[in-house]
């Protein structure tokens, strides 16, 4: 499934800023500098992920694999912009040294899965001040009513339902309430026309669209209205609690597969995956969430989404529940091996990671400043 685009990807040499850009990059910059900012003549694809260290399988199937597919399939004049949203990570307390390490691990993983810094811009959000500045401009037009309706805020502010998640409203931080506006700024400051998101982020993208529409109405056409690209893998569930999403914040490390887990670790995690005592292999997320989660993982790793058919094929193969876990494990190990191998190589070259981060930040700052200046001129600030 990960096949050629993940296997032994040669690391491209970083281009000096004084060297001519390759043809596709020259076309992309010319378009960005001269086009009507709201004209969808060519695509600008933007997406981001929080730097929590090495991503898990749910991150990969739900978002990251889509990024690589878009890189392969997009026309040469499309702009691809992928961001480590480290400012978003600050909505929860972070240990500085740990956050710095997680950022490096996340960047190394993005390169290991096949993102090519010669074809796309990969950068850290905090290195581009225009994100935060545009957030303030958008905040002045964002209503508290809109932000109160954000599902994640509502979940966090329901005190007493989950002592590990919920907190009384006075104790919650402003950053958690307003971060959807920063998310909107992340997208609009790069004039994105298309945004690949998971199902759980679709509401936030709708807020982005509303803010862009409102800004354009009040100040004139400034931002494109971004379109949603939904991932085929809506959500991958925890191996230990299959009614909850796979997450790095879960206490049990066996609940998730990290992209760099060695085969023995992956095998142990699948062996302990929660299933049920029913006979046979059938697909029914409501009645058999654990088994259905394994079927979905197996299907997605094989680029399929016909889960009921996949379940029937596995049943026809005469697999026991142990056999199902082993089959899924074998598929995941084989699919992630090229990523694990490339990660080990890239992570060991700190100079290369630093150069990628610097180059990405320079490219992102140049692009973002143009959009920010358009917005400031529209508002009378320039």
**Two tokens at 224?**
């494109």
Check residue 72 and report its DSSP letter. Answer: H
Of the candidates 103, 156, 269, 325, the residue annotated as catalytic is 156
**Contact at 8 Å (CB) between 279 and 320?**
no
The pLDDT assigned to 233 comes to: 73
User: Which segment, 17-21, 131-135, 138-142, is predicted with the most confidence on average?
Assistant: 131-135
With a pLDDT cut of 90, the percent of the chain lying above it is 73
Measured at the CA of 230, the angle between CA 225 and CA 231, to 5 degrees, comes to 145
Q: What are phi and psi of 95, to 5 degrees?
A: -80, 125
Average confidence score pLDDT of the chain: 86
Picking from 15-19, 87-91, 253-257, which range would have the lowest pLDDT averaged per residue? Answer: 15-19
Task: Answer whether residue 85 shows pLDDT above 70.
Answer: yes
Higher confidence at residue 10 or residue 168?
A: 168
Task: Answer whether residue 319 shows pLDDT above 70.
Answer: yes
Helix or strand run (H / E) with residue 378: helix 350-379
Predicted confidence (pLDDT) per residue in 24-52, tens digit: 343 333 333 333 445 545 899 999 999 99
Residue 184 neighbours by CB distance under 10 Å: 26
Predicted confidence (pLDDT) per residue in 209-256, tens digit: 999 999 999 999 999 999 988 877 778 999 999 999 999 989 999 999
Characterize the bridge pairing of strands 44-49 and 79-84: parallel
Of the candidates 158, 234, 248, 254, the residue annotated as catalytic is 248
**DSSP string for residues in 86-155:** TTGGGGS---HHHHHHHHHHHHHHHHHTT--TTTSEEEEGGG-THHHHHHHHHHTT--HHHHHT-HHHHH
Higher confidence at residue 198 or residue 260?
A: 260
Task: Answer whether residue 162 shows pLDDT above 50.
Answer: no
Mean pLDDT in residue range 328-357: 95
Of the candidates 103, 245, 269, 325, the residue annotated as catalytic is 245
Is 245 one of the catalytic residues?
A: yes
Is 322 one of the catalytic residues?
A: no
The pLDDT assigned to 169 comes to: 64
């Amino acid at each position: 499934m990960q096949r050629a685009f993940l296997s032994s990807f040669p690391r491209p040499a970083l281009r000096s800023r004084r060297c001519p850009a390759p043809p596709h990059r020259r076309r992309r910059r010319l378009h960005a500098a001269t086009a009507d900012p709201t004209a969808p003549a060519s695509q600008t694809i933007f997406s981001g992920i929080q730097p929590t260290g090495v991503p898990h399988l749910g991150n990969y199937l739900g978002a990251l694999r889509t990024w690589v597919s878009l890189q392969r399939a997009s026309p040469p004049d499309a702009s691809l912009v992928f961001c480590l949203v480290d400012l978003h990570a600050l909505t929860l307390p972070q240990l500085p040294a740990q956050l710095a390490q997680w950022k490096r691990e996340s960047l190394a993983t993005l390169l290991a899965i096949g993102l090519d810094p010669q074809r796309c811009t990969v950068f850290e959000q905090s290195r581009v001040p225009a994100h935060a500045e545009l957030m303030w401009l958008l905040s002045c037009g964002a209503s508290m009513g809109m932000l109160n309706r954000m599902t994640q805020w509502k979940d966090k502010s329901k005190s007493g339902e989950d002592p590990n998640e919920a907190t009384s409203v006075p104790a919650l931080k402003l950053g958690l309430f307003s971060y959807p506006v920063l998310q909107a700024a992340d997208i609009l400051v790069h004039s994105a026309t298309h945004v690949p998101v998971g199902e759980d982020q679709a509401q936030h993208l709708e807020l982005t669209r509303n803010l862009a529409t409102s800004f354009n109405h009040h100040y004139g056409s400034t931002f494109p209205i971004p379109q949603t690209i939904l991932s085929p893998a809506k959500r991958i569930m925890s191996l230990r609690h299959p009614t909850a999403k796979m997450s790095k914040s879960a206490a049990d490390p066996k609940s998730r597969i990290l992209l760099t887990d060695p085969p023995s670790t992956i095998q142990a995690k699948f062996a302990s995956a929660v299933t049920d005592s029913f006979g046979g292999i059938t697909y029914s997320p409501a009645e058999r969430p654990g088994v259905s989660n394994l079927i979905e993982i197996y299907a997605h790793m094989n680029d399929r989404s016909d889960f009921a058919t996949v379940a029937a094929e596995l049943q026809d193969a005469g697999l026991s529940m142990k056999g199902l876990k082993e089959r899924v494990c074998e598929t995941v190990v084989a699919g992630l091996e090229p990523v694990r191998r490339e990660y080990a190589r890239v992570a060991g070259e700190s100079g290369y990671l630093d150069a990628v981060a610097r180059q990405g930040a320079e490219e992102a700052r140049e692009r973002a400043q143009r959009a920010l200046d358009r917005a400031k001129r529209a508002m009378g600030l320039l």
